[in-house]
Structure formats: C-alpha cells, structure tokens
Structure 1
Amino acid sequence: MTPAASRPLGKRLGFAVEYALLRVGVAAISLLPIDRRIAAVGRVGEMLVPRVPALRRRAMANLDLALPGTPPERQEEILREMGNNFGRLLMEYGLLTELMREPERVHLDGPGLQAIRASQAAGRGAIIVSAHFGNWESIRMGLKHAGIECGMIYRAFNNPHFDTLVRGRMLAAGEPVMVKGRKGMRAFVEHLSHGGVALILVDQKQTGAPRLPFMGIPAETVPAAAQLALRHKIPMVPAFGRRLEDGQSFDVTLEAPIEGADALERMVTVNARISDWIRRYPGQWLWLHHRWR
C-alpha cells in the first residue's frame, strides 16, 4: 500500500472528501434501527455500483469472461445484487461492534468446525481461507460466538481514512488484525506458529503468482496459505459467509479441510470450492477485482 503522505495531493484530497461524504451519510441515518441502516446503504449500493462507468465496465468484463452466455437481464440482476451486498457490507463494517452483540445473526455449521477444534485441542492453530463473498467477516463473528478467536490478515482499503476506521472495528470480530505486506505476513506466521486461528481472503491476484484455474480460467493465485498449512501441519479450512434472503443474517459454512501433499494442488482445490459458491450465488461475489488481468 502506498504511504498516505506520499500519495499525490489530488488523490489525498479525493480520499478526504470521499470519507467526509461517507461520514455525513452515515450520520444522516444514525437514528434508524441497525437493520434499516444496513438496508438503506444496500439500496444506495444497488443504485450506484452498476452506474459508475469504471466499475460497470470491470464487472461486466469479468461476468462475460467467467460466466459466458449469461443473458443481459441476468447480468444486470447480478450487478444489482452485488451492489446491494457491497453497500450492506460497508455499513456492517461500521457496525461490527454492535452486530457482535447479536449472535443470532450468524448460523455456523460444517465439518471444518470440528477440524479447527481438534487442531486447537492438540495445541495447533488453523488457517481459514475464503473470498470476497457475502460478508466474510461473518465467518470470524460466528467463530468468536463459538468460542474460537479468529484473527485476520487483509489488504488495506484504498482510502486510508476508511481503513483506519474499519480496522478498529474489525477487532470486535476477532484478534489480531494484520495488514498484508512484509510486516503483516511475519505477524500472521507468528500467530499461526503459536496455535492461532486466522482468516485470509485468497481470491485476489498478485503479479507473478502461479496461474491456477479460477472459474475455469487461469488466474494468479498466491499459494502462501497452503504452504503455511503444510509447514505448520494445521488444517486449511475453506469458509463462506453467505448472506441470507432477509439481507441481515448469514449462513457460515466451514467446509472440510483441504488435503493434498502439494501447496499448488491444495490451492487448485480452494479455487474450485470458491468457484462453486460464486456459480451458485453470483450476486454475492465482488466482481470488481482485476482477477484475471
């Protein structure tokens, strides 16, 4: 991430204005009940995201590539669903502390939960791998309600003001919270080596990483999660926090741990699991990344 002070003045001013508008908007609806606030920002996202030219072009290009043959009306529906989910997600980040007081919002299930508990009982940790799907923070929320502290390593948000705000709230769902980069990865490895559990999102490209199938298309995929799981002899558990039809609650599935002697083989399986969820619920994946470029 580019240090804030070294960014061009115009970019810094843009981020400041963007953040100020966000705070004004949040303040304007702060008296509404939590569910209505989340729904309101979801509707804003549903209206705006498909209409911002750069975002629309990127999402449509990804849809054409990954889901060829999708009728135009279905593509529009997916874009609206994605925008709604994205808006809700942003609001939920700001409300993580409050949402943690409502454990009934998250239903946690799947064979991966038993695998994590068994690993912890043996004095070891676990790596949770997921994607920008649904609300990935619901995974850590559900685990914390189940008595499992789950940290996270994440890529910092582009807007540094928003990133600072969100990072403080992310601690409510589990600690530690680490930022991707050399320092963050060292902390991530240390956390795992001491028996910790942590979540990492693995669906973004990194230039130079091995090109492995993702939605059936070669995509640069970082194998670090699988390498660390093999090195520390801990389970690597795919997890997905699907937003339910009410828009306010989540079904978190902890799948069976990924097996295999080779890190790349494991990441091929991870990509396949993620792809399955995207195909089933395409409106819940963030189609805005340059995943295949």
Structure 2
Amino acid sequence: MTETPQAPLSLRHRIEDRTIGALVGAMRLLPYKTRVRAMGWIARNILAPLALNKRTRANLAYIFPDMPEAEIRAVCRDVADNFGRAMMELHSGAEFARFAGDMPIHGPGLAALDQAHAENRPVILVTAHYGNYDAWRAALTARGFRVGGLYKPMSNPASNARYVATIESIAKPLFPSDKHGMADMVRFLRAGGMLGMLVDHYMSHGELLDFLGKPAWTATSAAKLALKYNALLVPGYATRNADGFSFAIEVEEPIPHSDATTMTQALNDSAAARVMAHKGQWFWLHRRWKNTPDNP
C-alpha cells in the first residue's frame, strides 16, 4: 500500500494526542464491557453537557422543530451514550473485532454479498454514522469477506496514526481519502474487494439532496464508483441492541444501477429510515445541513 505523507506535529497536536491516549489507555485497563459502559457514562454525563448536546439540540431543532423537550433530552442522552460506547469500542481494536465478529448478519442483501464474493465482483458497502459502523465491517470480515474501508484522516497526525492502527486491527485494508489512498482503493475494487464508505458526511462539492426532509450537500462518490466499476451498491447498518454491547447487523438489498444522483438519494433515504427508527443511534454531532438555503 502506498504510504501517505505525514503532516508535521505541532505542540497542540502532541498535547491533544497524549491527553486522549492517556484516557484511552486508562480505560483499556478495565475489562471490555466495563470500559465500554464507563465511556458511555462519561460521554452522557460529562461530555454531553459540556459539548455534545449543543450540536445535537441544534440539529434536532432544525429537523424536528416540534419535538417535545422530554424527547429532546432522551435523544441527547442516547446520542452521547452511543457516541461514547462507539469510540471506546473502536479504540478496543481486536477485542471489539472479536466481539462484533460473533454477531449474526441478517437482511435481504446478504445473499447478494455472498454471490458477489463468489464471483469476485466489487461491492461498495455504504453505511452512516449510526450505531457502530465498524461493527458491520468486523462482522462481514469474520464471515470471510475482504472488506476495506475508506476514511478521512484526522487533522492531528499523531491521533490519526493511533486511530488508524486501532481500526486496522478491526479489519483491513484501510484507504485514506487522499490521492495515494484513492489509487490503492481503486486497485482493491478492481480485484473484487468490498469497500466500506460512510454516506452522511457534509460534502461541499457534492449535490444538494434530501436527507430527513431537508436539503443536504451529499457526496455521490459511492454511486459513481459503483457505476464505473460495475460494483454492487449495498446499504447496511449495525444497530446497537438494548444490552448496550451487541448489535443487530443488517444488509439491505443492493441499490439498482441508474444514475449517481438517483442512487445516492436512495442511500440517503435508507439512512434516514434508520435514523427515524432509532433517533438516538445517529451521530447528531456534526453540521450535516451546513451551507444550505435555509441553514447557512
């Protein structure tokens, strides 16, 4: 795999990384389920009132202006808890992969994945910042699929190096979304690999498509890749179960090939349906509807 040049480390980068590394390192001394539960508590009771709730509340007010206050508080609590648990799970690397790898996979699209794997046909696996998106990747890898992942490098090079090493222990290969990573990703796809992507980022150079009833700048790259390389375009999700640790991992039917805009809107609709069913499991923590006509 091509090496991606690393940006220089600043003093702020070092301080931030050492602080996060110390917290994660301390938490990893605890048994797996204890640390996941504890990080959920920290996010719910400390991070949420300090930082997380502000963005969650703003997004909820934009999408659900009539949502009762009691429901807003419940969604904020669940979002923070799921966020904390997911972050600790991702930083548990191989332990999380073993745990998630034992989860059964369901859904009408699973047979299509099995067939594509047998035929060495490329697959674009699309999910959202929902539940724990790497649980899906770990479960599919445990089934014997070759699942790569496309990721956006962090702005802090030190934290990024630690994060990539951790999530590579869940499943690999991983491809950074730069010119080096994209070249490796194309070779992987052409060889019949399955590539995991997230569809719910704000993308300033994307298309303005509907998401949860509001226009949102959306990347059409997953659909374009599927069309270019004759790959299946398959949505899938890992919904956290009531126990807080296990997941319902589901593969939906492949999106029919048509044009990139229509296919991407179908992906948005798929993700929106999951959000509506489990509002507290989507990461309402980023500006998904930034720079739109009624939300500058």
The count of residues paired between Structure 1 and Structure 2 equals 287
Structure 1 segments, 4+ long, off by >6 Å, are: none
- Does the alignment pair 1:24 with 2:9? no
1:276 pairs with one of 263, 273, 276: 273
Matched, 1:77 2:74: yes
Of 10, 13, 21 in structure 1, the residue corresponding to residue 11 of structure 2 is 13
Tell me by how many angstroms 1:173 deviates.
Answer: 2.7
Give the direction of change, closer, same or farther, for the CA distance of 1:126–1:143 in structure 2 (3 Å limit): same
2:169 aligned counterpart, secondary structure:
helix
Q: What aligned pairs does 1:248-263 form with structure 2 within 5 A after superposition?
A: 248-263=245-260
Say whether 1:106 aligns with 2:103. yes
**Residue 155 of structure 1, CA deviation:** 1.2
CA contact (8 A) 2:101 2:138 kept: no
Secondary structure (helix, strand or coil) at the match of 2:56 reads helix
Please report how far the alpha carbon of residue 137 of structure 1 lies from its aligned counterpart in structure 2 after TM superposition: 0.3
1:102-123, CA deviations, whole angstroms, 9 ceiling, x for partnerless residues? 3565221112221112112222
Question: Take 2:205 and 2:76, find their aligned partners in 1: how far apart are those partners?
Answer: 30
C-alpha contact 1:96 1:173 (8 A) present in aligned 2: yes
1:207 corresponds, among 198, 204, 210, to 204
CA contact (8 A) 2:124 2:195 kept: yes
Q: Match for 1:41 among 39, 42, 51?
A: 39
Corresponding residue number in structure 1 for 2:293: none
Aligned equivalents of 1:166, 1:107: Cα separation in 2: 26
Alpha-carbon shift at residue 182 of structure 1 (Å): 2.5
Q: Residue type matched to 1:257 in 2?
A: P
Counterpart mapping for 1:127-276 below 5 A: 127-276=124-273
2: CA distance, partners of 1:39 / 1:105 = 19
CA distance in structure 2 between the partners assigned to 1:241 and 1:166 by the alignment: 20
Q: Identify unmatched segments of 5+ residues in structure 1.
A: none
Q: What residue number does 1:122 align with?
A: 119
| TM-score when normalising by structure 2 | 0.91
Change (3 A) 1:159 1:82: farther
CA contact (8 A) 2:190 2:229 kept: yes
Contact 1:48 1:83 in 2 (8 A): no
- Cα separation, 1, equivalents of 2:13 and 2:141: 33
CA distance in 2, matches of 1:218, 1:291: 10
* TM-score relative to the length of structure 1: 0.91
Q: 1:136 to 1:232 in 2, by over 3 A?
A: same
Residues 35, 248 of structure 1: 8 Å contact kept? yes
Would you say the 8 A contact 2:101–2:139 is kept in 1? no
2:294 aligned residue? none
2:280 alignment partner AA: G
